[in-house]
C-alpha cells in the first residue's frame, strides 16, 4: 500500500512539472552516434528546440563543453532570465563505457544522481541531437531532448530534417518547443569567454 502511495505522489509530481514529457514504463534504449568523437564535440552549442525542461526558464540557452585534464568534460550551461540576469550552472560529464562514447554521464551537484546525456546524432559543425531520460523504478520515466546548433538559429528546412532524424531514433517530437534565441548579444556569456 505504501509503494502505491509513493507511486501516486511521483506521478502527480511528474504531471505537475510544467509540460514535462513523462511516460509509463522504462526509458527507451535509443541508438546513439557511432564512432562519436568527444573532442570534436567541444565548444559552444545553442539550444534551438527542446522537450520541455522544468529546470530551463530563460532564453538564449547555450551550453559550452571543454575537455578537462583528467579526460572528463566541463559542462557550462547558461540562460538569460527576464531582467537581463544570466543564470548558469557548471557540471562534469564523462564517458563511463568506452565502447559507447556517445553516452555520457552528467553531474551538476554532489549527492544528486547523475543524468544520462546521449548524443543521438551530430555532424560536430552544425547540429547535435541529444536525449536524456530518468527512469523511476521502471514504472514511469521523464525524458528530455534537444536540437542544438553551433549558431543561435537554424533554417526551418534543416529543423524539419532534424526532427525527422529524432523521430527515426525513437524520440516523440510532438512536444518540442522553440527556444527563444533573439536579442542575446551584448551580454557576458562566460562559457564563450566574451
Residue 131 lies in a domain: yes
- Containing domain of residue 169, as a range? 2-181
Domain tally, the chain: 1
pTM of the shown model: 0.84
Beta strand extents in 18-172 (DSSP E only)? 21-24, 43-50, 59-67, 73-80, 86-95, 103-107, 115-122, 127-136, 140-149
Residue with cell 546513439: 32
Residue 194 lies in a domain: no
- Going residue by residue through the chain (194 aa), what tens digit of pLDDT does each one get? 454 444 444 444 444 445 566 668 878 889 999 999 999 999 999 999 998 877 788 999 999 999 999 999 999 999 999 888 899 999 999 998 999 999 999 998 877 677 889 999 999 999 999 999 888 777 788 889 999 999 999 999 999 999 999 999 989 899 899 999 999 987 777 765 33
The span from the CA of 48 to the CA of 70, in Å, is: 31
Residue 187 lies in a domain: no
Q: What is the CATH number of the domain that holds 85?
A: 2.40.128.20
Amino acid at each position: 500500500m505504501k509503494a502505491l502511495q509513493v507511486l501516486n505522489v511521483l506521478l502527480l509530481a511528474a504531471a505537475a512539472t510544467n509540460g514535462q514529457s513523462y511516460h509509463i514504463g522504462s526509458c527507451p534504449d535509443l541508438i546513439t552516434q557511432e564512432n562519436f568523437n568527444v573532442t570534436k564535440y567541444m565548444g559552444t552549442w545553442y539550444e534551438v528546440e527542446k522537450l520541455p525542461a522544468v529546470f530551463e526558464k530563460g532564453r538564449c540557452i547555450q551550453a559550452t563543453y571543454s575537455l578537462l585534464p583528467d579526460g572528463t568534460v566541463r559542462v557550462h550551461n547558461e540562460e538569460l532570465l527576464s531582467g537581463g540576469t544570466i543564470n548558469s550552472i557548471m557540471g562534469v560529464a564523462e564517458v563511463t563505457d568506452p565502447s559507447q562514447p556517445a553516452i555520457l554521464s552528467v553531474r551538476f551537484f554532489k549527492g544528486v544522481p547523475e543524468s544520462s546525456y546521449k548524443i543521438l546524432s551530430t555532424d560536430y559543425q552544425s547540429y547535435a541531437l541529444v536525449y536524456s531520460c530518468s527512469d523511476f523504478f521502471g514504472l514511469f520515466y521523464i525524458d528530455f531532448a534537444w536540437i542544438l546548433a553551433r549558431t543561435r538559429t537554424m533554417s526551418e528546412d534543416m529543423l524539419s530534417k532534424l526532427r525527422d532524424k529524432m523521430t527515426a531514433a525513437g524520440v516523440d517530437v510532438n512536444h518540442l518547443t522553440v527556444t527563444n534565441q533573439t536579442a542575446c548579444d551584448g551580454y557576458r556569456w562566460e562559457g564563450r569567454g566574451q
